[in-house]
Structure 1
Amino acid sequence: MNSRALPSPNDLLVLLTVARLGRHAVDAAEAIEDRLGALTTAIRQTDPLSGLLRISTIDGFGAEIVTPALVQLQQRHPRINIEMFSATRKVSQNRSGVDLEIVAGRNDVTNAQEMFLTDYFLRLYASREYLLSRGTPQSLDDIQSHSFVSYVESALLVTDLGYRSSELPEPATTFQSIRLFAQLEAVQAGAGIGLLPNFLVHDRPELIPVLPDDFLRQLPIWAVVRAESLRSAVVRAAVEAITLEIASRPAAFSD
C-alpha cells in the first residue's frame, strides 16, 4: 500500500518562507492603508473650505444646475454644510439669512454685488398627445383656443416668467402652479401648452416645441451676494462651482 510522501526539509523551508513573505505583505498593506487614512483625515482637517452655506435659488434651475454643482463641491470639501431654499422671487433687498441668491430676470440690487451667470430661453412646448387632440397652433393668436400651463400669475413675484408679461393672448383655460416641476408634469400629461425654460426640456424629446419661429424669450440668471459674504471662500467656491456646471452643459442653455 502506497503512502503519501512527507515533505522534505527543503519543502518545509520554502513553505515557511512563503508564509513569512505573505505575512509581511499583509502587514505592509495594512500600514499603507493606515497611512492613507491618516493622510485623508489630515487633509480634511486642514481643508480651508468649511462651514455653512445658505443659498436661495430659483425653482427648476436650483434642482437641475445648482444642486449637482453643490453636491460636487461638498464631495471635494466634506466639511461644507449646505442649506438650499427654492424660491422664484425678486432679489431680496435685505438678504438676511442667506449667503447667496440665484435670481432670474431684471434686478434692482442695492448693497450687494450681482454676477451674471448665464442667459436662458423660454419657449412654448406641448406633449404630442395634446397637439394630436387639440391641434397645433399656426400663429400666436391661436393660443386663444388652447389651454395654457404657467405660474400662478397672482402669486408670481418675477413677472418676467408669466404669460401675461410675454404678451401672449389670453388662453381659453389655464393650469397654473407656483412650482416649475409641477408645470412640467402638467405639460407632459397633456394639460396644455407650457412656457418652459430650455435647461429643463432640452433633453426631453417627448415635449414638442410650439411656434418655435414665432416666440422666444431670453432672461438672465444672476448670482447676488453681499460684500461681506463674498469674502467667504465657501461662497466664492459655490459661485465657481455653479459657473462650471453651467459651462459643462452648453446644450441646456442654447436657443
Structure 2
Amino acid sequence: MDWDKLRIFHAVADAGSLTHAGERLNLSQSAVSRQIRALEENLNATLFHRHARGLILTEQGELLFDATKSMSRRLDTAWARIRDSADEVFGELRVTTTTGFGTLWLAPRLGKFYEMYPDMKVDLMLEERVMDLPMREADVAIRMKEPSQADLVRKRLMGVQMRIYASRKYLEQNGVPQTLEDVTRHRLICQNPSTPQVSAGAVMIQHLLAYNPHSLLTVNNYFGVLQAVLSDLGLGILPDYLIEDFPQLVRAFPEIESAEVPVYLAYPEELRQSQRIAAFREFVQDEVIAHRRQLRQMGEL
C-alpha cells in the first residue's frame, strides 16, 4: 500500500481539484496528476471523472475516499491523544452545537477561554445536525438533549426553557398582553414549525399559534428571532439563557414557559484524558455556574 499516493488522492478528492490539492500539499499540479494516474494504474480503476469544472469521484473513487476519510479520522484521533498526553493545553478543538446556543451564549464567552489558553484554536461548528463524535466529526458537542450515541462521556450542564419576550419599546407602542387571547392583537415571532428544533419549542409554538396571532414572522434560527424582537417587531419565543445578555428584553406572560430542555456536553470516551477537552469542559461548567448565579440575582430562577 502506497500511503503517499493515498494521501494525495484524499487531498484531491476532498478539494475536487488538482490545483487546490497541490496548494494544500505544496506540490505542483503536474506532480499531483502523476501520482493520481499511477494510483489508478496500480488499482486498474478510474477514480475520477475529469470535467472542465473540476473532478468528480467515480463509484470506485467514492469507495476509496470513504476508506481514506476513515483513515484520516483515526490518524487525527491518534495525533490528538499523543499531543494531549502533555500537561500543556494547546492545539485545535472542534466544538459543535446549535446555531442559537453557539451564536448567542457560547461564542460571546469564548474570550475568557482564549485569555486562559491563548494558543488554542477553536473550530466552532454551528448547525442543527447531530455530528458523529465517535467518528470524529467533532471533538466535543453541546446538545439540547441527552446524546444517544454509545461510547460518549456526557455531562448535564443546565436546563433551558422557551419563554415569550418583547422589547420595551414594542410593549409601550402595542400594549402589554394580559391573557393569551390578547395574542390576536400582536405579531408572533418564532422559529418556523417545520425547522429542526427542540420539541419543547415546537410544542410551545403550536400552542400559541392556536390563538391566531394578528401577524406572524417565522425564522429558521433563534438568532433571527432575537434580532426581530430587538427591532421591536413583536412577541418572540426565545430560550431563557438570553435574558442575562439582553436586559432590554421584557418577559411577556410570566406564567407561560415550555418544558425544560436539558443541555449536555459530550465527547468521545477515547478523549477522556484529553487536556484540551478537560480545559474546555471546566471553562463551560464555570460559565454555566456564573450564568445561573446572574439569573438568580435577576430573579429569573
Using the size of structure 1 for normalisation, the TM-score is 0.70
Residue aligned with 2:194, SS: helix
Percent identity for Structure 1 against Structure 2 = 24
1:168 match: secondary structure: helix
Q: CA deviation at 1:100?
A: 0.5
User: Does the alignment pair 1:130 with 2:170?
Assistant: yes
Is 1:196 paired with 2:238?
yes
Find the aligned partners of 2:146 and 2:96 in 1 and give their Cα distance: 17
Tell me the equivalent position of 2:120: 80
In the alignment, which residue of structure 2 is the partner of 1:215?
A: 257
Name the counterpart of 2:283.
Answer: 241
CA distance in structure 2 between the partners assigned to 1:173 and 1:163 by the alignment: 19
Taking the TM superposition and a 5 Å limit, the aligned residue runs for 1:162-181 are 162=202, 164=204, 167-170=207-210, 171-181=213-223
How far apart in 1 are the matches of 2:295 and 2:132? 27
Query: C-alpha distance in 2, partners of 1:172/1:90?
Result: 35
Superposition deviation, residue 122 in structure 1: 2.2
Give unpaired runs (5+ residues) of structure 1: 1-45
Q: Whose helix fraction is larger, Structure 1's or Structure 2's?
A: 2
**CA distances 1:39-86 after superposition (whole Å, capped 9, x unpaired):** xxxxxxx86212210001223432454335543333333332211112
Bigger Rg over Cα: 1
Give 3-state SS (helix, strand or coil) of 2:207's partner: coil
Partner of 1:251: 294
Across the aligned residues of Structure 1 and Structure 2, the Cα RMSD in angstroms comes to 2.8
Give me the whole-angstrom Cα distance separating, in 1, the residues matched to 2:247 and 2:139: 37
Distance 2:232 2:240 in 1: 19
In 2: Cα distance, 1:224 partner to 1:151 partner = 26
> Could you tell which deviates more after superposition, 88-97 or 57-66?
88-97
CA contact (8 A) 2:104 2:223 kept: no
Contact 1:54 1:100 in 2 (8 A): yes
The code of the aligned residue for 2:286 comes to L
Alpha-carbon separation, structure 1, partners of 2:266 and 2:185? 40
State the partner residue of 2:225.
Answer: 183
Query: Among residues 196, 208, 216, which one is paired with 1:156 in the alignment?
Result: 196
Q: 1:137 to 1:92 in 2, by over 3 A?
A: farther
For residues 11-90 of structure 1, the aligned pairs below 5 Å read 48-67=88-107, 69-90=109-130
Q: Give, in angstroms, the shift of residue 92 of structure 1.
A: 4.7
Deviating more after overlay: 121-130 vs 162-171: 162-171
Aligned length: 210
Structure 1 residue aligned with 2:270, among 212, 228, 246?
A: 228
- Contact 1:152/1:176 (8 A) holds in 2: yes
TM-score where L is the length of structure 2: 0.60
The one-letter code of the counterpart of 2:233 is A
Q: Is the 8 A contact 1:121 1:198 kept in 2?
A: yes
Measured after TM superposition, the shift of residue 162 of structure 1 is 2.9
CA distance in 2, matches of 1:153, 1:216: 15
Shift of 1:95: 5.4
Structure 1 residues 169, 155: closer, same or farther in 2, change over 3 A?
closer
Moved over 6 A (4+): none
Distance 1:109 1:184 in 2: 31
Deviation at 1:192, TM superposition (A): 1.6
2:96, 2:131 within 8 Å by CA — same for their partners in 1? no
